[in-house]
A and B are shown apart, each in its own frame.
Chain A
Amino acid sequence: MTNKNESDEDLQPEVVEELVSQRPTPGELLRLGRENMGLSVGQVADRLRLRQQQIQELEDDVFTAHVSGTYIRGYLRSYAKLVQVNETEIIAAYEHLIGDQAPKGQMQSFSRKTSIETQDNRLMLVTWIIVLILIGSVAVFVWQKFVDDRDQASSSNIESSFEVTDSATGNDTADIEGLQPDNDQLGAVDSGENESTLEQLEPTTVDTAAETAASAPGPESESEGSGTPVAPILDTRTLVANNVDDSANTTAEAADNDPAGDTPSINTIQEQSENTDPASQGELVLVFSGDSWIRIEDDTGEAIAYGVKQSGYTMPLDGTAPYDLTLGAPSVVAVYFRGERVDLSEFSGGRIARFTLPRS
C-alpha cells in the first residue's frame, strides 16, 4: 500500500507535465476553429484587419515581446469570436501558456516634478539639520546660563555665610588655629589640581575655607600657578582675614616665607580689605550688585559718570555737591554719600531713579 502511494507520488509530476503538454495552446485552438469554419489565413486577416503574418504568429503561439498584452489578448478574442471558439477558453489557454512571462509594461515618467521633489527633500533635510543645530545651541546656552547662575548663587551663599560667621564669632573670638598653615590642605591646593580643588572648596564650610585661605600662601605652594587661582577665594574671604587680627599676624609670618612672592600676602589682603569699605572711598560711592545704566552730574553740570556699569563694580566719585543722579536700575545700586548709605527704597518696582544728593 505504501509502495503504491510512493509510486503514485513519483508519477504525479510526470502526469501533470503530460496533462500540461496535452492542453491545447491558443494557437492550436484557433487554427482548429478556422479550419472547421473553412476559412483561410488570408480571409481571417482580411476580416480582422490584421496582416497575414500576425495571424500566422497567433496560430504558431509566437507572441512578439514588444506588443502589449492588451493587444494580444484583444486579437485572440477577436479571432476566437470570428471562428466561434469560446473566448474565455482561448484567454485561459494564453494565460497558461505565457504564465509569468506576460509582458508587464513599466511606466516611465517624463515629469520634472519627481526630480524637483527630490531636490526639495534635500533642501528640507538641510533646513531640518540647521533648525536642529539652532535648537541644540539654544539648549546648550540655556544650560550653561543655568549652571553659571547656580555657581553664582552658591558663591554668594558662601559670602553671606562668611558675614554670618563674622558677626557670630567677633574679632576676639576668632579661631586662630583655623588659620594655621596646614600641610594637608596645602597638598590639596598644590599645582595641577588647583582647579578641581577650588571647585571642591567653594561650597565647603566656613572653617575649611578659612583654613584654605590661611594655608594658601604657605611655603609648600611651589608652583607659580598655585597662587593665582587661590587669590579670588582669598578675596572673597578677606572679611575673615580682616576681622581676625591675631590670626592675620600669624598668617602674615607664614606669608613672609613664600619664596616666590607671587601669592598675595595677608598684609596685602588686609590693605585691600580696608579699602573695600565703600563708605570710606570717597564723598559719593556707588556699589553695583548688578548691571545698571547711570548718569551723574555734579554742581558744575558736568557728567562725572555715565554709561552702563558692570555688576560687582565699586565706583568712588569726587565732585562738587550737589549731585544729580540718574540710575537705570536702582535696585542693584547701593549709593553711599558722605559715609552713609542712601535709602533708595522709594524707587522700587523697576522705576528709574532720579534724585539729587544731598537731599534737600
Chain B
Amino acid sequence: MFKKLRGLFSNDLSIDLGTANTLIYVKEKGIVLNEPSVVAIRQDRAGGSKSVAAVGTAAKQMLGRTPGNIKAIRPMKDGVIADFHVTEKMLQHFIKQVHENNYLRPSPRVLVCVPYGATQVERRAIRESALGAGARQVVLIDEPMAAAIGAGLPVSEATGSMVIDIGGGTTEVAIISLNGVVYSSSVRIGGDKFDEAIISYVRRNFGSLIGDATAERIKHEIGTAYPGDEVREIEVRGRNLAEGVPRSFTLTSNEILEALQEPLMGIVAAVMTALEQSPPELASDISERGMVLTGGGALLRDLDRLLMEETGIPVIVADDPLTCVARGGGKALELIDEHGGDLFSDE
C-alpha cells in the first residue's frame, strides 16, 4: 500500500547492471546515470560495522589505492552478482541519486537487464537485490533483447536480427525475430578480460606489473582488434618485477592487438557458432543486412572489421553502443503495459 503510494512519486527505471558500469535510464528523461559499478566499503576496526564510503566514480578512483580500513569492491563479476549486499547498497544509492525527492523514499518500478546465460539463482539474486534496494516491482529482460531494442533493430518483424553485445564481463550473441530470442549464447569474455590480457601481456613481455586502471587506459587509447595502417603508441609506467621499482615503457597498438588475440578469438568463435546454429532463413536475413555491435566492447577500434573479415558478413556499430542496453531496457519499460510479458525474461 505504502509502496504504491511512494510509487506515485517515483520514476520507472531501466537499469543496466553491468560488470564495469551501471547505467540508469528514466522514462521520458533518457540516461540519467552512468557510473562505474564500484563501491568503497569502510570498516574501521575488525569485526566492526561496515559502512559505504563511496559509490561509483569516487569509489573507482580508490581502486588499488585504498588504505587498510577501506575496500574498493566491484560487486558484479562476469555480468552477475558476486557480492549481494554490496550490490544492494550500490543500487539503493543509485536509485536514490536519480530521484530528486528527498522526503519520500523512492519505490520505483525497475527493469533490470540480465545476461542471457545467467542462471535462475543469479536472476533471483538480481531481483532480490533490486527489491532490497527499494524497488516495488522488478522486471528482468535479457541483455541481448534490450541491446537490440536500444540499437533500433526491428525485433518485432519477421526478419532475423543479430546483435553482439560486448559488455564488461560477458559477450552476448543473439539472433532475434518476432520479439523473441531465436538463438543466444553468452561467453564470459568482455572488457575485463581485455584488461586482464593486457596486464598479462605486459608482465610477460615487459616484466612489469600494471594496474587495472592503467590497462583500461591502454585499451581505450591504442587498443585495436585488427591490424591497421597506422601504428599508435603509448607510454605507461609499471612496477618492474625484477628491479622492484617503477619503470616506464612504450606500448604499440600492434602489441596490444597481439595481447587481445585470445579474448577476441573467443568472441569470434561465439559469433561463428551463432551463425552455424542459426536457422537458414534467419541466416539469410543476417547475411543480407549484417550484424550489429553494441556495448562498451564495440568501441574497441576495428572490432567490426575483424568480425567482418572473419565472418564475411556486414558488421555495423550501433549509435552510442555503450548505452544501448539501458536505452533498450527503457524503451521496453515504456512498452511494458502494452506488451506485457512479451519481451521480458522469465525468472
* A109–B314 CA distance with the chains assembled, in angstroms: 29
* A114–B335 CA distance with the chains assembled, in angstroms: 11
Pairs A–B under 8 Å by Cβ, sample size 12: A49-B312, A50-B314, A70-B151, A73-B319, A74-B290, A75-B314, A75-B316, A78-B304, A78-B314, A107-B179, A111-B339, A114-B340
Quick one: which of A69, A110, A114 contacts B152, CB cutoff 8 A?
A69
Quick one: which of B292, B316, B319, B339 contacts A107, CB cutoff 8 A?
B339
Instruction: Tell me whether B338 is interfacial, beta carbon within 8 Å.
Output: yes
Q: What's the interface size class on A, roughly?
A: 20 to 34
Contact pattern, A 111-131, Cβ under 8 Å of B = 1, otherwise 0: 111101100000000000000
Residues A111 and B342 in contact in the complex (CB < 8 Å), given A49-B308, A74-B292: yes
**Minimal Cβ-Cβ distance residue in A for B318:** A70
* A73–B316 CA distance with the chains assembled, in angstroms: 9
**Minimal Cβ-Cβ distance residue in A for B304:** A78
Quick one: which of B149, B156, B316, B341 contacts A108, CB cutoff 8 A?
B156
Which residues of the other chain, B, contact A111 by a CB distance below 8 angstroms?
179, 339-342
Contact pattern, B 320-345, Cβ under 8 Å of A = 1, otherwise 0: 00000000000000010011111000
**Minimal Cβ-Cβ distance residue in A for B293:** A74
Q: Select the residue from A75, A112, A113 with max chain B CB neighbours within 10 A.
A: A113
**Minimal Cβ-Cβ distance residue in B for A105:** B154
Quick one: which of B156, B308, B313, B316 contacts A77, CB cutoff 8 A?
B316
* A67–B316 CA distance with the chains assembled, in angstroms: 14
**For chain B residues 269-308, which have a beta carbon within 8 Å of chain A?**
289-290, 292, 304, 308
* A112–B312 CA distance with the chains assembled, in angstroms: 39
Total of A-B residue pairs, C-beta within 8 Å? 80
Chain A interface mostly helix, strand, loop or mixed?
helix
Instruction: Tell me whether B178 is interfacial, beta carbon within 8 Å.
Output: yes
Residues A70 and B179 in contact in the complex (CB < 8 Å), given A77-B316, A107-B335: no
Contact between chains at B156 and A70 (CB < 8 Å): no
Contact pattern, A 48-82, Cβ under 8 Å of B = 1, otherwise 0: 11100000000000000001111101110110000
**Minimal Cβ-Cβ distance residue in B for A114:** B340
Which residues of the other chain, B, contact A110 by a CB distance below 8 angstroms?
156, 178-179, 342
Instruction: Tell me whether B317 is interfacial, beta carbon within 8 Å.
Output: yes
Interface size on B, residues (CB 8 A): 29
Instruction: Tell me whether B72 is interfacial, beta carbon within 8 Å.
Output: no
Which residues of the other chain, A, contact B312 by a CB distance below 8 angstroms?
49
Instruction: Tell me whether B166 is interfacial, beta carbon within 8 Å.
Output: no
Which residues of the other chain, B, contact A108 by a CB distance below 8 angstroms?
156, 179
Which residues of the other chain, A, contact B131 by a CB distance below 8 angstroms?
none
Contact between chains at B338 and A74 (CB < 8 Å): no
Which residues of the other chain, A, contact B319 by a CB distance below 8 angstroms?
70, 73
**Minimal Cβ-Cβ distance residue in B for A82:** B305
Contact between chains at B342 and A109 (CB < 8 Å): yes
* A107–B152 CA distance with the chains assembled, in angstroms: 10
**Minimal Cβ-Cβ distance residue in B for A51:** B288
Which residues of the other chain, B, contact A50 by a CB distance below 8 angstroms?
314
* A172–B75 CA distance with the chains assembled, in angstroms: 106
Quick one: which of B149, B317, B342 contacts A74, CB cutoff 8 A?
B317
Which residues of the other chain, A, contact B17 by a CB distance below 8 angstroms?
none
Contact between chains at A70 and B152 (CB < 8 Å): yes
Contact between chains at A70 and B153 (CB < 8 Å): yes
Instruction: Tell me whether B114 is interfacial, beta carbon within 8 Å.
Output: no
Which residues of the other chain, A, contact B316 by a CB distance below 8 angstroms?
70-71, 73-75, 77-78
Which residues of the other chain, A, contact B317 by a CB distance below 8 angstroms?
74, 77
Residues A109 and B339 in contact in the complex (CB < 8 Å), given A49-B313, A78-B304: yes
Instruction: Tell me whether B155 is interfacial, beta carbon within 8 Å.
Output: yes
Which residues of the other chain, A, contact B315 by a CB distance below 8 angstroms?
49, 78
Which residues of the other chain, A, contact B339 by a CB distance below 8 angstroms?
107, 109, 111, 113-114
**Minimal Cβ-Cβ distance residue in B for A116:** B340
Contact between chains at B156 and A107 (CB < 8 Å): yes
For the complex formed, measure the closest distance between the CB of B333 and the CB atoms of chain A, giving whole angstroms.
Answer: 13
For the complex formed, measure the closest distance between the CB of B249 and the CB atoms of chain A, giving whole angstroms.
Answer: 31
Quick one: which of A69, A70, A114 contacts B292, CB cutoff 8 A?
A70
Contact pattern, A 95-112, Cβ under 8 Å of B = 1, otherwise 0: 000000000010111111
For the complex formed, measure the closest distance between the CB of A119 and the CB atoms of chain B, giving whole angstroms.
Answer: 13
**Minimal Cβ-Cβ distance residue in B for A47:** B308
* A107–B157 CA distance with the chains assembled, in angstroms: 8
* A347–B201 CA distance with the chains assembled, in angstroms: 103
* A294–B51 CA distance with the chains assembled, in angstroms: 77
Contact between chains at A113 and B314 (CB < 8 Å): no
* A117–B342 CA distance with the chains assembled, in angstroms: 13
Contact between chains at A113 and B341 (CB < 8 Å): yes
* A114–B315 CA distance with the chains assembled, in angstroms: 36
* A296–B317 CA distance with the chains assembled, in angstroms: 100
**Minimal Cβ-Cβ distance residue in B for A109:** B339
* A74–B149 CA distance with the chains assembled, in angstroms: 15
Which residues of the other chain, A, contact B342 by a CB distance below 8 angstroms?
109-111, 113
* A353–B199 CA distance with the chains assembled, in angstroms: 100
Contact pattern, A 25-66, Cβ under 8 Å of B = 1, otherwise 0: 000000000000000000000001110000000000000000
